[in-house]
A and B are shown apart, each in its own frame.
Chain A
Amino acid sequence: MLSLSLDILTTAAILFTVATGLLIVFGVMKIVNFAHGAFITLGAYAGLVASQLGLSPWFGLPLAFIAGAACGALVERFVVRPLYGRPLDAILATWGLGIIIGELLTLGFGREVQFVGSPLSGTIDVLGEAYSVYRLFLVLAALIVGGGFAWLLGATRLGLATRAVIMNEDLARGLGINAGWVRFITFSLGSGLAGLAGALITPLSSVDPNMGVPWLLNAFMLVMVSGASLGALLAASLVLGGAQVIISSMFSPILGGLTIVVLAALLLRIRPKGFAR
């Protein structure tokens, strides 16, 4: 029971970390970044490179963030910006980008599955139950990411401008806010977060050029049911992630893997606003 609760907590933390970048891009730009999965993969390879260079595994995290953000900045400038006003085409183009990034990674690193060591190994005793230290660290990481975002949005000038663009872009522009710049920063930041999330999850799984796709799907569905609210995303990650853990352990991991997408689609059919207020 305790182990199950910890699994739910850590799974929700991972889902939240993976989906935050997608959420913020969706909130500001009203498009779904299908290259998010590829940015996750990119971040994972950044972690791999760091470990191959013999650097501390911790060093992989900032590297992954920078790789994702830089790539995102280029993508925003040259692909997403010209498609502003054609949201479905923007979604398609980001999917094409995902393919390109995946193939470039394959060309560079080969197709095979690779492994990255965990910066924190072993288990820790939680109320008499031995539990992976790294998984618990991911809860902390999710709190830092979520808290950092909340601070950025709530306490900075850029955050205020971003919230203004989310609520009413026309009005924000009329007050002198450069919505194009806000979109650029948001997309870069969201992509950077995807990279960071990729580096964070690799010690739990493995690295391969297509590893981002399943994560993309879950993150996508979580964002759909959360609107543009971080709080709703947290709730959705806990509820749907919890359902995933329970169904995986009680029935089968394959059904568990479907839980989020199916429940989210049904939820949206019944309540289009999802978890958002």
Chain B
Amino acid sequence: MSTPTLEIAGLTSGYGAAQVVRDVSLQVGPGEVLALLGKNGMGKSTLLRTVMGYLKPQSGRIRVSGTDIAGAPVHHRARHRVAYAPQERALFQDLSVRDNLRLGLAHDRELPAALDRVRAAFPFLVDRLSQQAGTLSGGEQKMLLVARALMTAPSLLLVDEVTEGLQPSVVDRLATVLRQAAVQDGRATLLVEQHVRFALQVADRYVVLKLGAIVATGSTHDSDARSVIEEQLRV
């Protein structure tokens, strides 16, 4: 079996003394999409922030492509092909679309090739490079966010609730792009979601978090996947 792109073992994390993520272990392989489901406040975003290095784990291990990244600063992780699309305040609102995309790259000379990839995924962005990011609509901003995360051709993609508040056509577009990134380009994706249908459409496997711990897991192709998840998330 090949080395998983992301391997988390016994991870506990949180703010100060609070434990928001409790003893979580999971793996995501190349080309695989893992959906991390759960209601608000159950520790999903905290898990992503810990993987990205914004929070120090209280215990446990995180490996990316076989390397323990425990002590690495955030920007090292980003430079070593971990891309993160956060949920809130994630664009530089006052900068242009082009500058936002440039910031996803390490060097400007990679820009033309990267823009070609953006054109394939979200053609409208390439036509509006000089527009200020803050003036894009909500859905367009989310697409810019995903486009920026894909700029560096990451091996691991962390996406936090990208569908929140979006109309169905945008959700479908994002599903196609994320699925392609996995299948065609072999990116490992950890997808935090509340939108069950979207998650089932994009992901290969799912994990449900409750109070920071994994309470259910399985393949999205299982016939009972949907009912298991909805049972855990029931309103």
- Per the CB under 8 Å rule, do A and B touch in the complex? yes
Binding site for B on A (CB under 8 A): 157, 160-161, 163-164, 167-168, 170-180
Q: Which residue of B lies closest to A163 (CB)?
A: B95
Q: How far is the CB of A145 from chain B (nearest CB, A)?
A: 23
Interface string of B188-200 (1 = CB under 8 A from A): 0000000000000
Q: Is the CB of B92 within 8 A of A174?
A: no
Q: Does B75 count as interface, using CB distance less than 8 angstroms? A: yes
Q: Does B123 count as interface, using CB distance less than 8 angstroms? A: no
Q: Could you name 29 residue pairs across A and B whose Cβ atoms are closer than 8 Å?
A: A160-B95, A160-B102, A161-B103, A163-B92, A163-B95, A164-B95, A164-B103, A167-B92, A168-B89, A170-B74, A171-B89, A171-B90, A171-B92, A172-B103, A173-B73, A173-B74, A173-B75, A173-B78, A174-B84, A174-B86, A175-B78, A175-B104, A176-B75, A176-B78, A176-B79, A176-B106, A178-B73, A178-B75, A180-B73
What CA separation (Å) do A263 and B94 show in the bound complex? 30
Q: Is the CB of A160 within 8 A of B99?
A: yes
Q: How many A-B residue pairs have CB under 8 A?
A: 53
Q: Across the interface, which residues of B come within 8 angstroms of A173, CB to CB?
A: 73-75, 78
Q: Is the CB of B74 within 8 A of A174?
A: yes
Known: A173-B73, A173-B78, A174-B54. 16 other contacts (CB 8 A): A157-B108, A163-B92, A163-B95, A167-B92, A167-B95, A168-B92, A171-B89, A171-B90, A171-B92, A174-B52, A175-B104, A176-B75, A176-B78, A176-B106, A176-B152, A177-B103
Q: Which residue of B lies closest to A181 (CB)?
A: B75
Binding site for A on B (CB under 8 A): 52, 54, 73-75, 78-79, 84, 86, 89-90, 92, 94-95, 99, 102-104, 106-108, 148, 152
Q: Is the CB of A175 within 8 A of B103?
A: yes
Q: Across the interface, which residues of B come within 8 angstroms of A170, CB to CB?
A: 54, 74
Whether A164 contacts B75 in the complex (CB less than 8 A), given A170-B54, A172-B103, A175-B104, comes out as no
Q: Is the CB of B86 within 8 A of A179?
A: no
Which secondary structure dominates chain A's binding surface?
Answer: helix
Q: Across the interface, which residues of A come within 8 angstroms of B107, CB to CB?
A: 157
Q: Across the interface, which residues of A come within 8 angstroms of B94, CB to CB?
A: 167
What CA separation (Å) do A180 and B95 show in the bound complex? 22
Q: How far is the CB of B104 from chain A (nearest CB, A)?
A: 6
Ordered nearest first, which 4 A-B pairs have the shortest CB separation?
A176-B78, A173-B74, A176-B79, A178-B75
Q: Across the interface, which residues of B come within 8 angstroms of A174, CB to CB?
A: 52, 54, 74-75, 78, 84, 86
Q: Which residue of A lies closest to B158 (CB)?
A: A174
Q: How far is the CB of A169 from chain B (nearest CB, A)?
A: 10
Q: How far is the CB of A194 from chain B (nearest CB, A)?
A: 28
What CA separation (Å) do A170 and B74 show in the bound complex? 9
Query: Which of A160, A161, A173: most chain B Cβ within 10 A?
Result: A173
Q: Across the interface, which residues of B come within 8 angstroms of A172, CB to CB?
A: 103
Q: Which residue of B lies closest to A169 (CB)?
A: B74
